[in-house]
Structure 1
Amino acid sequence: MKQRAFVPEKLDLAAFAHDGASLEGEWPAAAFERLAESGAPESPASQWPALRWSLRGELRQPKGGKAQTWLHVTAQAQVAQTCQRCLQPVQESLVVDRWIRFVETEAEAAELDADSDDDVLAMPRHLDARELIEDELLLALPLVPRHEVCPEPLPQPDADVPEAAEDERPNPFAALAALKRSGKA
């Protein structure tokens, strides 16, 4: 039997899972526009290492049920984001290792996704694995990127203002209290 050739950007997912096929490779990080937009401006995606990925299809036959189409997605990437403490670039390692079940319709996917811990998606006519991998990497980004220890000391707020100066500032509520006492407010 002739081995089918699968293209990750236009993947026939049903045939891929039926054959138990797998694909792997590397893509330049700059090819992922949305991921690149999340990066630090000082460190463009063209300077990031290549992104490694792999896909494996599987057809599972549960007892008493119809066959289920599954896809195992793994990806590793190094991205540079802006540290939220020091505002300098910080290297983040992203790792994706996810099984996704594919079903016939959007309605079935929504119903199963709500009732299950598994990730469930509707079966597309052709899956763009590059887009799916980018979606998974975006979900893996940290909410607040930051260094464990920032490379430069953080600026201290009002470090130049002596403590005595804070006491000399007039209290805005004192003026309001004086107006209330005088009966004007």
Structure 2
Amino acid sequence: MKSKPLDPRRLDVAALAQRGEQLAGEWPLASLERLAEAAVRESPAFDGAQVRWRLTGEARPVKGGAAEIWMYLHAQVELPLCCQRCLGPVQTVLEVERPLRFVADESRAAALDAELEEDVLELVRDLDALELVEDELLLELPLVPAHEDDCPDPLPRPVDDLDEVSEPAQEPAEHPFAALARLKKSTS
């Protein structure tokens, strides 16, 4: 009997692991709303941007116990971010390669996550792989996106006090009472 195909939007992680299968695909950047918010939508590169992803399941045997459920996540996208130097779009590649271990409940996941290097998540029946991929890519966003080398269209540099071109000195304005004193002298 043929097993039912796995749906990445309602993924049975345990079944993926037990079968040792791999799921892969692409989603348009616009379908990952939170990640799309970080991108420069006006950039021509936004419309064609695709998030490529791959999930591989593994059930690791454990002596005297149930097998550990693992999933390996790989995701990659090239998206236009706003360069913080020139304020123009900068193409930025985000790539995630992460092992994920799944355990029976949230409290065990929290306890193991604190002591292990790998990420530990609660095993749920219907995992939304799109949300998981989006979360992991959001964690990869640079704090300050910028062109690696010189910006193609740098902003004009602000003029510092030292760089200012000195203007010719102007005569100080006449004190208002000086004019009154002159007027008083001329009438006396």
TM-score when normalising by structure 1 = 0.82
SS of the residue aligned with 1:66? strand
Tell me the equivalent position of 1:131. Answer: 131
Tell me the equivalent position of 1:162. Answer: 164
Question: Are residues 104 and 44 of structure 1, via their aligned partners in 2, closer, same or farther at CA, if it must alter by over 3 Å?
Answer: farther
Cα distance in structure 1, aligned partners of 2:91 and 2:72: 26
Q: Which has the larger radius of gyration?
A: 2
Q: Partner amino acid for 2:53? A: W
Give matches, 1:44-123, under 5 Å.
46-123=46-123
Cα distance in structure 1, aligned partners of 2:155 and 2:65: 59
Which 5+ residue runs of structure 2 have no aligned equivalent? 168-188
**2:109–2:122: 8 Å Cα contact kept in structure 1?**
yes
The reply on whether 1:15 has 2:15 as its aligned counterpart is yes
**2:85–2:154: 8 Å Cα contact kept in structure 1?**
no
How many equivalent residue pairs? 165
Q: Partner amino acid for 2:84? A: Q
In the TM superposition, residue 123 of structure 1 has moved relative to its aligned partner by 0.9
Cα distance in structure 2, aligned partners of 1:18 and 1:164: 77
- Identical positions, percent: 52
Q: Partner amino acid for 2:4? A: R
TM-score when normalising by structure 2 = 0.81
SS of the residue aligned with 1:90? strand
RMSD of aligned residue pairs (Cα, Å): 2.0
Cα distance in structure 2, aligned partners of 1:6 and 1:66: 22
Which 5+ residue runs of structure 1 have no aligned equivalent? 166-185
**2:68–2:102: 8 Å Cα contact kept in structure 1?**
yes
Q: Partner amino acid for 1:42? A: E
Deviates more, 1:62-71 or 1:41-50: 41-50
**1:36–1:44: 8 Å Cα contact kept in structure 2?**
no
Q: Deviations over 1:70-120 (max 9, x none)?
A: 011111101111001110010001111111001011100000000010100
